[in-house]
Structure 1
Amino acid sequence: MLVGMGYQFVHLETYSRKADSAGRSTTFVLDEAERRLDACQHVAEPVPPTVVFGMSVSEVRDLHDVRAAAAMTEAAGKARRIRSDQHTLGTVVASFPVPWDEVRSAPSKAEALANWERRTVDWLRDQYGEQLVSVLAHCDERFPHLHAYILPADPSMRAKVLHAGWSAKASAVAAAKAGGADGKTANAKGDVAYKAAMRAWQDSYWQAVGLPCGLARLGPGRRRLTRAAWQTEQAAARTTAVLMGKADEAQRAVQEAEAELGARSQAASNLEGRAKAAAENAYSAIAEAKMRLAEAKQAVDSAVAARRQAEANARREARAVLAQARIEGAHIVAAAEAKAAPMRRFGGWLGSVWAGFRSVERKLVAAADARVAAARTVAAAEIAEAKARLREEARQEVGDLLTELRQTAARAEDERKWAEKRLEKLEANAKRHAEAAQQAKDALGKEKSARQRAEAERERFQSLWADADNVLRAIEQEPCGGTTFGHSQR
């Protein structure tokens, strides 16, 4: 929101610890800021200030007094403490041209006040950097206003260096005297430099704060404007401020759109990376399942080969036992025949003996056959047990592998579904990104148009500023002219 109902007021001053002719010193100024009764008699009902930026008044006072007590300057080649009348504190007062009654009753003007305060603090920080230690707001006078306090950073605490007008005048006077000018001429050149520097300082504030807030650079009285001309200028200021506000809003919209687009692009990239990782995990799980299946098949083949080897070993052992039994039987029969040969003459008796030996042979053969049958039975049982054991182990291994494979396949399917969903979301996000980019382009186009209109208004106002400066210079050249800039609304 903007005001468009007045003109800017901003004032710069420096103070020393020793009171000036009007009784103003650093102590008095800080007492007035803190709303001590003996220093703010112009305020009917004093209210403590609000810290808008930086330190409180008491903290500013303590820091100033410590640094001023330690400040040194060089004189005649020796370091000396600074004089009490050296200016060590800079202050800036800026006033908002809408009474508190109107601000409190109109939300739009309260919003305009907040915008003015923010822009003023930003301008002060840009002007003075870390030397700006505090900005206070007073709400117990008719018009809202800010007090800024600046402490010089140099060891000598020379506050006048922070004053644009005094600094420019000192430089101009020194340059004029170096060029051979007398004191009067040099001082006159210094006054011209003072006015030019303060005019530039006021222009800087107007460019950063006044123009965006709809405030005129100068009031109608100093430029001797008619009421109609003043109203026309106010309307133009409101229009310019509106255009600048829209341009700023468009710029912010573009920046926000770009930031959102970047965030969405990053999110889309992250989702795409996760989808690729999920797909790679699924492929890895499938490859691992295939490898495990191949290992199970190899284990089954190994078990079958071991079973066949066990059967072959059992058959070899049975054949060996049978062969050994036959050899032993043959040895027994041969021994019996050898013993019976000399006695064959005994006829039948020997026949009966021979029959006995044959009976023994049959028994030995039967025993050998029984041992072979027992060996075959044991071998068959061992083979059956080995087959059963290998079959169970293979079945268990294959079952475990199939279960793990099913689980892996299920996980892979879940990952695939998740990846498909994320890809759908990515496509939707990409579509929204495209729409956001188009909106950003449209907003940028609007911003360019708004800036072009604002630039046209600014160029129109430049001619008004030139006319105002010419009038101001003419007034300053009059015998009754002064050097005060702005107006006091405090």
Structure 2
Amino acid sequence: MQNSYQFIHFETFADVPRKNSKRPSAEAVARECQRKENSSPHITQPQAPLLLYGVQPLEALDKARLLASNSKDSLGRKIRKDAQIIGFGVASIKIEATLENWQSSEVQLWVSDTKKFLKDQLGDSFVSLEAHLDERWIHLHFGSTPKLNDDGSINLTSFHPGLEAQRACKSNKKSTKDHAYKSAMRSFQDNYYEAVGLKHGQLRFGPKRRRLSRSEWYAQRNYASLLAKIFNSQNNLISSLKNKVKSAKAILSELLPSKRSKKNHLPFQTKDFNSND
């Protein structure tokens, strides 16, 4: 398995994009994720995605809308239509999206590790994970929704680390807030690399970002692939040991009589000791 650099992308969306914004609405993204009719023009033969965790994207959006409509912001105001109320993201690994590859232990482990990472990072805000089966490379789409504060107000920063850092920034300067956002998202990428990418032979950066020569980048990619093989070898070893322990327990249970069977084979009955005869 020759992987490239890691890819995980995570953005927030509003029900109604701001004026002059080129960003899609939350519903447009959810419909594309869910492969609704006329929502995926880049796919020649759309297939229904496979839901792996939580709810479908449109259901997640309905949940976010309901939270927003029934809540106030921290100042007690009604939530604006152009407020960022939901997060959608994608994680990918450079493996051909064949049925055989999807069912392989390597890909299943990557899916499991990615799901665990999202749970650890987003907590209860992580509400949706699905696999797309109709594109070239194996990838997952995920969604997150806001939590409620203790006073019942909606927490519009709880579902995306960049948004949380940006709004926690005390400065009024846009550049400073943007820096806080980018720093938080770099940490998100770093955490993903430590939890998932490294284990699966993915590089943190591509050659252009790190200004490596092509040969240097290929050398690092080969090293990452070697690390992935080591991780897979260790996982296979652990699985093998577990199976051997299970087999040993089964053999021992057959060879050694249970406590109950020992009791039944005593040459006397215990009630004899309590007899008054």
Task: Indicate the TM-score class for this superposition, using the shorter chain for normalisation.
Answer: 0.7 to 0.9
Question: What SS is found at the alignment partner of 1:52?
Answer: strand
- Answering whether residue 112 of structure 2 is matched by residue 112 of structure 1, we say no
Distance 2:65 2:182 in 1: 32
What's the CA shift for 1:51? 0.9
> Which residue is equivalent to 1:226?
213
* Alignment deviations for residues 391-419 of structure 1 (CA, whole Å, 9 cap, x no partner): xxxxxxxxxxxxxxxxxxxxxxxxxxxxx
Within 5 A, what are the aligned runs for 1:292-441? none
**Cα gap change, 1:131/1:262 in structure 2, threshold over 3 Å: closer, same or farther?**
farther
Change in 2 beyond 3 A, CA 1:61/1:168 = closer
Unaligned runs of 5+ residues in structure 2 are none
Following superposition, the deviation at residue 147 of structure 1 comes to 1.0
Which whole-Å deviations, capped at 9, do the CAs of 1:242-268 have from their partners, x for residues lacking one? 112222333444555566667777x48
Q: Per the alignment, in what secondary structure is the counterpart of residue 62 of structure 1?
A: helix
Question: What is the DSSP-based 3-state SS (H/G/I as helix, E as strand, rest coil) of the residue aligned with 1:133?
Answer: strand
Q: Match of 1:411?
A: none
In the alignment, residue 81 of structure 1 is paired with which amino acid?
A: K
CA-CA distance at 1:165 after TM superposition: 2.2
2:87 aligned to which of 87, 90, 101: 90
Instruction: Give the 3-state SS of the residue equivalent to 1:41 in structure 2.
Output: coil
* 3-state SS of paired residue (1:283): coil
CA distance in structure 2 between the aligned counterparts of 1:18 and 1:98, rounded to whole angstroms: 35
Q: Call closer, same or farther: CA 1:270–1:88 in 2, change over 3 Å.
A: farther
Match of 1:130 among 120, 124, 128: 124
Q: CA RMSD in A?
A: 3.2
Check the 8 A contact 2:130/2:140 in 1, yes or no. Answer: yes
Between stretches 207-216 and 15-24, larger displacement belongs to: 15-24
Distance 1:158 1:44, change over 3 A: farther
2:215 counterpart SS class = helix
Report the Cα distance in structure 2 between the residues aligned to 1:213 and 1:44, rounded to whole angstroms. 30
CA contact (8 A) 1:14 1:160 kept: no
Q: After superposition, what is the alpha-carbon deviation per residue over 1:344-373, rounded to whole angstroms, capped at 9, x for unaligned?
A: xxxxxxxxxxxxxxxxxxxxxxxxxxxxxx
Question: Using the alignment, how far apart are the partners of 2:105 and 2:64 within structure 1?
Answer: 34
Q: Which residue is 1:13 aligned to?
A: 11
Of residues 266, 271, 274, the one that matches 2:260 is 274
Q: 3-state SS of the aligned residue for 1:160?
A: coil
Counterpart-to-counterpart distance in 1, 2:256 and 2:59? 49
SS at match of 1:271: coil
Structure 2: which amino acid aligns with 1:29?
V
Deviation of residue 8 (structure 1)? 0.8
**C-alpha displacement of 1:30:** 1.3
Rg bigger for which structure? 1
Paired with 2:80 and 2:258, the residues of 1 have a C-alpha distance of: 71
Structure 1 residues 54 and 256 mapped into 2: Cα distance closer, same or farther (>3 Å)? same
Query: Which has the larger strand fraction?
Result: 2
2:164 is equivalent to residue 167 of structure 1: yes
- 2:231 equivalent in structure 1: 244
Structure 1 match to 2:189: 202
Distance in 1 (CA, whole Å) between partners of 2:102 and 2:229 is 14
| One-letter amino acid matched to 2:269 | S
User: For the residues of structure 2 that align with 1:279 and 1:26, how far apart are their CA atoms?
Assistant: 71
Report the CA distance between 1:135 and its aligned residue.
0.8
Equivalent-residue separation in structure 2 for 1:237 and 1:65 (angstroms): 42
Per the alignment, residue 24 of structure 2 pairs with: 24
**Equivalent-residue separation in structure 2 for 1:143 and 1:41 (angstroms):** 17
* Count of matched residue positions in the alignment of Structure 1 and Structure 2: 270
Mapped partners of 2:107, 2:191: distance in 1: 19
**Distance in 2 between residues matched to 1:99 and 1:246, nearest whole Å:** 22
Aligned to 1:70: 70
**Equivalent residues of 1:151, 1:157 under 8 A apart:** no
1:236 CA drift (Å): 0.7
Assess, with a 3 A threshold, how the Cα gap between structure 1 residues 44 and 157 changes in structure 2: closer, same or farther. farther
Q: Structure 1 CA distance, aligned partners of 2:234 and 2:258?
A: 37
Same amino acid, percent of matched pairs? 29
Q: Shift of residue 24 of structure 1?
A: 1.4
Q: State the secondary structure of the residue aligned to 1:129.
A: helix
Three-state SS of the structure 2 residue aligned to 1:170 is helix
1:4: how far off? 3.1
Higher helix share: 1
The structure-2 alpha-carbon separation of the partners of 1:40 and 1:157, relative to structure 1 and needing over 3 Å to count, comes to farther
The residue number in structure 1 matching 2:56 is 56
CA contact (8 A) 1:89 1:151 kept: yes
Secondary structure of the 1:44 match is coil
Shift of 1:232: 0.9
Matched with 2:35 is: 35
Aligned residue type for 2:165: A
Deviation at 1:126, TM superposition (A): 1.9
Give the distance between the partners of 2:237 and 2:95, measured in 1 at CA: 27
CA contact (8 A) 1:90 1:159 kept: no
Cα distance in 2 between the residues matched to 1:127 and 1:117 = 15
Equivalent pair of 2:200/2:228 in contact (CA under 8 Å): yes
Q: Which amino acid aligns with 1:153?
A: K
Partner of residue 115 from structure 2, selected from 121, 134, 139? 121
* Structure 1: gaps spanning 5 or more residues: 178-182, 296-490
